[in-house]
Structure 1
Amino acid sequence: MHSRSPRATTRAFDATHFRRALSQFATGVTVITTRLDDGTLLGLTASSFNSVSLSPPLVLWSLSEQASSMPVFSGNSHYVINILGAGQVALAEQFSRKSTDRFNGVEYTLSRTGQPVLKGVSAWFECHNRSRYPEGDHVIFVGEVEHCEVTPQAPLIFHDGRFICVDTQ
């Protein structure tokens, strides 16, 4: 059930200050990937990822309504959430650039549903595009995980506007 509370009172809210405060929350780093019917690959770096439910297995991530990839991710039946490891800063940066071919030079395999799975990631989740919820200036995507794999390694973290490689040894 989706319900909304009465509107919050945010007098003269400073968006820059809000963004700075949010940057103090350390997050993991993902690359969300999908493939169009014509074979074109699409991917983007995202730190807005979270688990939702174990039964059924659900995860979520969000994307700006203004993102050029919004129609593709909204319309495709599947996508893959790739969790990056500490040694994958260059990959995170490549998929965050405004580039025509973010997959240039990137090694990947295809999942059972034909979605790109990046090589060397610490985990990946092949998701059915179950539901979408517009909230504010973003859309929250809820994916039902159909398959996942894990290769434990030190995580790549995003904090205070920069990538941080964490040594878990």
Structure 2
Amino acid sequence: MDPNAKKTALRGITYGLYVVGTKGDEGVNAFTGNWLTQTSFEPPLVALAVKKDTTSQEQIKKNEVFSVNILETGQKDMATSFFSAIKQEDNKLQGYEFYIEQTGCPIFKDALSFFECQVVDRIEKGDHYIYVGEVTNAGVHKEGDPLTLKETGFNYGG
């Protein structure tokens, strides 16, 4: 296989960028994710890939819940702020205000919308875990267009 062709082909997969919330014994956490897709309408299921051996992955594995915050076009700064270690101050992570609903995972006020999930299955292969979550709660903060990886100029895949 031509490695450049593989990289080019895999980078053709389209992605959104989301802030995924988790919770643990030490409090809440969040990370920027992009491997997310809906896999069922009834019940409403999504599949989320999370890098192995990270705080967030361990929290999802232990507590079996997560939240997904849909970012708005133009929120590249918010997405990039969750690429590194998280700083929590009261009800803010990385300076972004959040609140808690059903799962105890952070929901960001600046997001377009959100949903919360209960893990119903997981696959442990490669360098990521895939969590299948049933959507148990959802809300909309405002109307707008979602942020995509293409808009940011970032590349993923290959």
- The one-letter amino acid paired with 2:15 is T
Correspondence 1:148 to 2:138:
yes
- 2:11 maps to 23
Contact 2:46 2:135 in 1 (8 A): yes
- Correspondence list, 1:67-106, <5 A: 67-96=54-83, 98-101=84-87, 103-106=93-96
Identity, in percent, stands at: 29
- Correspondence list, 1:51-130, <5 A: 51-96=38-83, 98-101=84-87, 103-130=93-120
Contact 2:20 2:30 in 1 (8 A): yes
Q: Distance in 2 between matches of 1:131 and 1:48?
A: 16
Q: Distance in 2 between matches of 1:88 and 1:20?
A: 26
Q: Using a 3 Å threshold, how does the CA distance of structure 1 residues 161 and 22 change in structure 2: closer, same or farther?
A: farther
Residue 68 of structure 1 deviates from its aligned partner by 4.1
Q: Which of 99, 110, 124 pairs up with 1:134?
A: 124
CA RMSD of aligned residues (A): 2.2
SS at match of 1:75: helix
Q: Distance in 1 between matches of 2:96 and 2:6?
A: 34
Residue 149 of structure 1 deviates from its aligned partner by 1.4
Q: Using a 3 Å threshold, how does the CA distance of structure 1 residues 25 and 43 change in structure 2: closer, same or farther?
A: same
Unaligned runs of 5+ in 1: 1-11, 164-169
Q: Using a 3 Å threshold, how does the CA distance of structure 1 residues 148 and 100 change in structure 2: closer, same or farther?
A: closer
Hey, which of these two has a bigger chunk of helix by percent? Answer: 2
Contact 1:23 1:161 in 2 (8 A): no
Residue 69 of structure 1 deviates from its aligned partner by 3.0
Residue 129 of structure 1 deviates from its aligned partner by 1.6
Contact 2:22 2:66 in 1 (8 A): yes
Q: Using a 3 Å threshold, how does the CA distance of structure 1 residues 19 and 101 change in structure 2: closer, same or farther?
A: farther
Please tell me whether Structure 1 or Structure 2 has the larger radius of gyration of its CA atoms.
1
Correspondence 1:35 to 2:35:
no
Q: Which of 150, 153, 158 pairs up with 1:162?
A: 153
Residue 20 of structure 1 deviates from its aligned partner by 4.0
SS at match of 2:31: strand
SS at match of 2:6: helix
SS at match of 2:96: coil
- The one-letter amino acid paired with 2:111 is V
Contact 2:19 2:69 in 1 (8 A): yes
How many residues of Structure 1 are paired with residues of Structure 2 in the alignment? 149
Contact 2:23 2:60 in 1 (8 A): no
